[in-house]
Amino acid sequence: MRHGKKRHKLGVSGPHRAAMMGNLAVALITHGRIETTLAKAKALRPFIEKIITLAKKAEKANDAARKLHFRRLAIARVRDKQAVAKLFDERVSEFADRPGGYTRIYKLGQRIGDAAEMALIELIDGNDEGFDKPKKKVAKKAAKKAAKKAAKKAALKEEAPAVEESEAEDKPAAEPEVKEQDGSSEPEVSEDTEVSSEEDTKKD
């Protein structure tokens, strides 16, 4: 299995590719920026950044033998002593405080002859602060969702007392209490009626 073994082959053999990367690295170190195809720029980026890392290690090393060792490793890959000397002695201070990301690639569009994708690759200046990162849309979406939830909760709170009032209005009024009569079905007779009936019998 070849997991994690992606390489920029560029349609050439191994020695040809190594020589090509060395020549591109020399041009980039010398001029600061070069124009090439997008595929070659993407292949050059990890190559030159490893050389810059060697230069930083050499600057931080206290032993002269270690410094010479890192310089020889860079010369073996770049194959140009003057370019390596310029990087190790002059330009390495630009990358001292930068923990990676020493190059930048700009896409330039297609070449007229063969429609190849062209790009500009440059070494980033030490004083360059870079571009501001775009704000994530996820945060905006989360804020909108939170605002919607808060609005719904407020609406529910406002509706709750109104519903309680409407329920209270819908309830029928309490009926007056009716006294239950005794088991007898006869109507109650008042004392006045009884007295009048007795007087009538006496007259008769």
Q: What type of residue sits at position 157?
A: K
- The tens digit of pLDDT for each residue in 132-161 reads 766 666 677 778 888 888 888 888 877 766
Residue 130 pLDDT level (bands cut at 50, 70, 90)? confident
- Tell me the residue ranges of DSSP E strands in the chain: 33-37, 103-110, 117-123
The confidence score (pLDDT) of residue 11 equals 94
pTM, full prediction? 0.63
The architecture CATH gives domain 14-123: Alpha-Beta Complex (3.90)
Q: Which neighbouring-strand residues pair with 117? A: 110
Please give the residue that has the higher pLDDT: either 179 or 30.
30
Distance (Å, whole) CA 48 – CA 56: 13
3-state SS, residue 128: coil
What is the dihedral sign for C-alpha 108, 114, 115, 116? negative
Are 131 and 164 a contacting pair, CB within 8 Å? no
Report CA torsion sign: 164, 170, 176, 181. negative
43-57 pLDDT, tens digit per residue, is 999 999 999 999 999
SS3 of residue 107 by DSSP: strand
Tell me: pLDDT of 177 over 70: no
The domain limits of the chain are 14-123
How far is 199 from 50, CA to CA, in rounded Å? 136
For 38, the token pair is 């997008």
Sheet holding 117-123, edge to edge: 33-37, 117-123, 103-110
